Amino acid sequence: MRFKEFLKELKHHVPFTLFATIAAILLIIFFKYFLEQQITEFMFELSHVLHIVVSSFVTAGIYYKYNKKLIPALLVGIFGAIIIGSISDIIFPWLGGNILGLHMHFHLPVIEVPVVVLGATIAGSILGIKTGFTKLPHFIHVFLSVFASLFYLLTFSGAMFELTYFAAAFFIVFISVIIPCCVSDILFPFFFIGNKKEKPSSCCCSGRVDSDS
C-alpha cells in the first residue's frame, strides 16, 4: 500500500477517532467526578485484552483471506495485536503522562500477565481465521483502544489526575489511537502479504474493516 493511500485511510479514521475520544472522556468524567466511582486497574486490563482480541481477529483474518497459510496468519495476528496494542494502550499514554508530569508507573500486561494476553491474541487470531469475518465496525476497535489508553492514564498516574488534565488527555489518547490503529488495520497484515493479492481499497473505514473483493 502506497504512502498516499495510507494517508487517505488515515483521513477517514480521524472522524471516528475524534468522536470516540470525546465520547469516552465525557463518559469517564461523568463516571469519576459525578458518580464518584473509581477507575480501577481491572478496567484497564479488560479494555486492553478486548482491544487485542479485536485487533488479532481482524489482522489474522485479513492475512489469511489473502494468503491461505495458517501458521503465518496466527503469528501476524498475535504479534501485530500485542506489539501495536501495547504501543497504543501503554507506550504512548505512558510517554504522554510523563510529559504532563504525572509520574506514570510502567505496566506492560504482556509481561505482567502473559498467559492472559497470549491466550486472548491466540483466541482472537483463530476466530478471525476460522470465521473469515473481517467486516468489523470500526468504532468497536477505536472505542476499546480509546478506553484502554484513558484507563491507563488514570490508573497508573503517580500524581493525582485532576479534571483539568483531560484537555491534554484528549490529545494524548487521540495520538495513541489514530496512528497505531491505522498501522494495525491498514499496513501490518499487507506488509507480510506483499503484492501477491490485490489489496482492498479500504480496510476499516466507513464503519467497517476490510472490504470484499
CA distances from 16 to 45, 177, 184, 202, 213 (A): 23, 11, 16, 15, 24
**Whether the predicted pLDDT of 193 surpasses 80:** no
Q: For 81, what's the count of Cα atoms within 13 Å in the CB-facing half-sphere?
A: 35
Give me the mean pLDDT over the 129-153 stretch. 81
Split at pLDDT 50, 70, 90, the class of 48 is very high
Average pLDDT value for residue range 149-171: 88
pTM of the predicted model over 0.75 = yes
CA atoms within 13 A on the CB side of 201: 2
Q: What is the mean pLDDT of residues 3-30?
A: 79
Domain boundaries, the chain: 3-193
CA distance 142 to 177: 7
For 65-97, write each residue's pLDDT tens digit.
888 889 999 998 999 899 989 999 999 999 999
